[in-house]
Amino acid sequence: MWVLDLDEDVESDFSRFHQIWMDIDQDDFGGLSAERLFSLATRLGAYEGAVAARIYHLREEEKSQHPSRATIEQPGTVVTDDLAVLMADPAMGQYIQVEQV
């Protein structure tokens, strides 16, 4: 699953945070190029909107199913940041994608 699998949440957050109205089911992406659409969509998890809420609930569900994943060790580092933990988890990392600019 990727953020666009949450189509209704994405549509809602785009209208709320970006003032862009779209209908993903009708392939209407508010006139955005694919590059711009994905650039904005990958940021939706950072806002307090529907996508972030869905990610939070998925993460909480995953934590309850796998409590040992609360802290993930990486070479030389212990990751405690929620986003880093989420992204490092193979089951949850698929829900978000972060690009460095």
For position 69, what pLDDT does the model report? 56
pTM equals: 0.55
Average pLDDT, integer, range 73-92? 54
pLDDT of residue 8: 86
Which amino acid is located at 54 in the chain? R
10 Å CB burial of residue 90 (0-12, 13-18, 19+) is exposed
Q: Which of 48, 54, 44 is nearest to 11 (CA)?
A: 44
Can you say how many angstroms the Cα of residue 73 is from the centroid of all Cα atoms in its chain? 22
